[in-house]
Structure 1
């Protein structure tokens, strides 16, 4: 008895399609993520969640001046940017750029690709000036055009008067002396990314940042994101 012909399958709905697989991380990206996570754990695994206009801290870790070990740890970050006289006791000195610089240095990223700096605008300006080359290690993107991945940096303004303008090409003079904050993306989930940064609520914190339906960052009052620095290493 002849069998019934197999009917061709209909189109697969977007809900049925398997999620796009994240690209395999390179060895240097794995080192960056491993170092950032280790520092986060050393500081007690503090969590911060940004969702829309809301910010919450479901778990509080150790602060920069909590005890001698954490005071000293922050001094290591400062040493990476040639400021050995500073430590966790200097609570009024923002150390988030020093933290990122230390992670990159310890991961083996050459200074020619990521110049260490005590302010985010300094290393961003130098990287952006070199980003036109085909073999650039780091490439800046507007948050409206690029979805962050593990190993990338996400950057927000800390200025009261508004965001730096991100254009094509980005004018580096607009970043000069601008107060910024950048975190290292360590994980991407459905609808959010996790990013680790220093000097976030007085600690090394892991922040969960909501993405929109297109997988893009959305600026909020607490974190007015404006730039993603793609890591091509």
Structure 2
């Protein structure tokens, strides 16, 4: 049902011009379906909404970065006027993955920076810049979409491994070119030079040899011989990528990284392509009925993509009901009332 709805929407919303180039971005329409009954639709709607929030950066089908209005380190530039680095802190904090990164410098600062727009959070800003956040973004999207059985992790490898090893995973582990891609799937590449391709990844997982640096994008649409995929921390933003598919909807013509590749440089420009990666696995989202056997497929009851709440304050107003931001490492303090002085005499 989700697939049929997607094709119907694409037929209604996308106008084609000569050469098969899309004249319209479908994410503005897709982003409105965050409360849809279909899990796949909610995944793509939430991913699209974030891509729009970051002002639609994208990598074109030639592998060129065509637009980058804002990047992670900046103090403003999002569509809603927000700070990109603070939004990334929100992905970490809201997904519950920040605690797993507590040993990293600046991580504890992100708890307060994500909760309070008035908290300066310079340590958090450094944490955001220094630590890959693409898996935190994927985990955050899956939580917001209410995907049952998803293995939240700051490492892509953990949920990729779960797709191969755990029958309760919402995804199937398949070779990237072996199946028709669908909206809601995850397309992943390996960032290590220790192994290459699907077979190399299978051997690594089955051998139980530990983790592996990876990256995954969410497929949000397939149309006119192209796949549209969104990922976090792609060129330091939430970015859309365009890749080729054949007439059967299977990935084809993917530029694959290999051990023999020349480094990207002015005298080897052919190697300079952001879509040339070690595409090692497609995580195919299971059907709605199969997902329902894993857990609830109902839309989460919370508001979708709300702004970062002001849940603690630095310069507090008595009677506001907002607790004062504690010193990093200290417990969150209860809200101040008109009859109680603020801690520290504020």
Q: TM-score range by the shorter chain?
A: 0.7 to 0.9
How do 1:168-207 residues align onto structure 2 when only pairs under 5 Å count?
A: 172-173=205-206, 176-207=210-241
117 and 109 in structure 1: CA distance in 2 versus 1, 3 angstrom threshold: same
Where is the helix percentage greater, Structure 1 or Structure 2? 2
How do 1:1-233 residues align onto structure 2 when only pairs under 5 Å count?
A: 22-24=3-5, 27-51=38-62, 55-67=63-75, 69-79=83-93, 80-83=95-98, 85=107, 86=110, 87=124, 89=126, 90-110=128-148, 113-131=149-167, 137-166=170-199, 172-173=205-206, 176-212=210-246, 215-217=250-252, 218-221=254-257, 222-232=276-286, 233=288
Q: RMSD of the alignment, in Å?
A: 2.6
Paired residues of 2:256 and 2:279 also in contact (CA < 8 A): yes
Q: Kindly state the Cα deviation for residue 141 of structure 1 after the two structures are TM-superposed.
A: 0.7
Q: Once superposed, which parts of structure 1, at least 4 consecutive aligned residues long, lie more than 4 Å away? A: none
Paired residues of 1:81 and 1:98 also in contact (CA < 8 A): no
TM value normalised by structure 1: 0.78
Paired residues of 1:46 and 1:205 also in contact (CA < 8 A): yes
Long gaps (5+) in structure 1? 1-20
SS in structure 2 at match of 1:125: helix
Q: Kindly state the Cα deviation for residue 24 of structure 1 after the two structures are TM-superposed.
A: 3.2
Paired residues of 1:96 and 1:197 also in contact (CA < 8 A): yes
Between the two proteins, the alignment pairs up a number of residues equal to 205
Paired residues of 2:3 and 2:183 also in contact (CA < 8 A): no
* Larger of the two Rg values belongs to structure: 2
Q: Kindly state the Cα deviation for residue 171 of structure 1 after the two structures are TM-superposed.
A: 6.1
Partners of 1:147 and 1:92 in 2: CA distance = 36
Higher relative contact order (CA 8 A, sep 6+): 1
SS in structure 2 at match of 1:154: strand
212 and 92 in structure 1: CA distance in 2 versus 1, 3 angstrom threshold: farther
Long gaps (5+) in structure 2? 7-36, 77-82, 100-106, 111-123, 258-275, 289-346
